[in-house]
Amino acid sequence: MFTLNLIPSSPLTLSKSTHQYYPIKRIQNPLSFTHSPVFLNKSTPLSSKVCNFNKIHGYPLGKIQALSTKTTHFGNILENPSTKPGSHVPRAAASSELNPEGEAESVEAAEAKSKAKTLQLALVFGFWYFQNIVFNIYNKKALNVFPFPWLLASFQLFAGSIWMLVLWSLKLQPCPKITKPFIIALLGPALFHTIGHISACVSFSKVAVSFTHVIKSSEPVFSVVFSSFLGDTYPLKVWLSIVPIVLGCSLAAVTEVSFNFQGLWGALISNVGFVLRNIYSKKSLQSFKEVNGLNLYGWISIISLFYLFPVAVLVEGSQWVQGYHNAIQTVGKASTFYAWVLLSGIFYHLYNQSSYHALDEISPLTFSVGNTMKRIVVIVSTILVFRNPVRPLNALGSGIAILGTFLYSQATAKKKSSAGEKKS
Under 8 Å CB-to-CB from 364, ≥6 apart: which residues? 413, 416
Please report how the helices 91-145 and 334-361 are oriented relative to each other, as an axis angle in degrees rounded to 10. Answer: 150
* Nearest by Cα to 299 from 167, 133, 201: 167
31, HSE (Cβ side, Cα atoms, 13 Å): 5
Closest CA to 274 of 217, 357, 350: 217
SS3 177: coil
CA dist., res. 246 & res. 405, Å (int) = 10
- Asked if residue 53 lies in contact with residue 33, where contact means CB atoms within 8 angstroms, the answer is no
Residues contacting residue 287 through CB under 8 Å, at least 6 positions apart: 181, 185
Q: Which residues, in sequence order, are bridge partners of residue 4?
A: 14
Alpha carbons 148 and 154: distance in angstroms, whole number? 10
Radius of gyration of the chain (CA): 38
pLDDT at residue 420 in the model: 55
Helix (H) or strand (E) holding 250: helix 236-254
164, 301 contact by CB (below 8 A): yes
β-partners of residue 3 are 15
CB 39 within 8 A of CB 7: no
* 8 Å CB contact between 227 and 279: yes
pLDDT of the chain along its 424 residues, tens only?
Answer: 444 444 444 444 444 444 444 444 444 444 444 444 444 444 444 444 444 444 444 444 444 344 444 444 444 444 455 454 544 444 444 444 555 666 667 787 888 887 887 787 788 888 889 999 999 999 999 999 999 999 999 999 999 999 999 999 999 888 888 889 999 999 999 999 999 999 999 999 999 999 999 999 888 899 888 888 888 888 899 899 989 999 999 988 888 888 889 999 999 999 999 999 888 888 888 888 788 888 889 999 999 999 999 999 999 999 999 999 999 999 999 999 999 999 999 999 999 888 877 776 776 667 777 787 888 889 989 889 998 888 898 899 989 998 988 888 888 876 665 555 555 5
What's residue 60's pLDDT? 44
CA dihedral 16, 22, 24, 25 (to 10 degrees): 150
CA–centroid distance for 392 within its chain: 37
The answer to whether the Cα torsion of 14, 16, 18, 24 is positive or negative is positive
In DSSP terms, 50 is beta-bridged to 13
How high is the pLDDT of residue 415?
Answer: 64
Alpha carbons 67 and 14: distance in angstroms, whole number? 23
Contact between 147 and 323 (Cβ < 8 Å): yes
H or E element in which residue 334 lies: helix 334-361
DSSP assignment, residue 36? Answer: S
13: β partners:
50
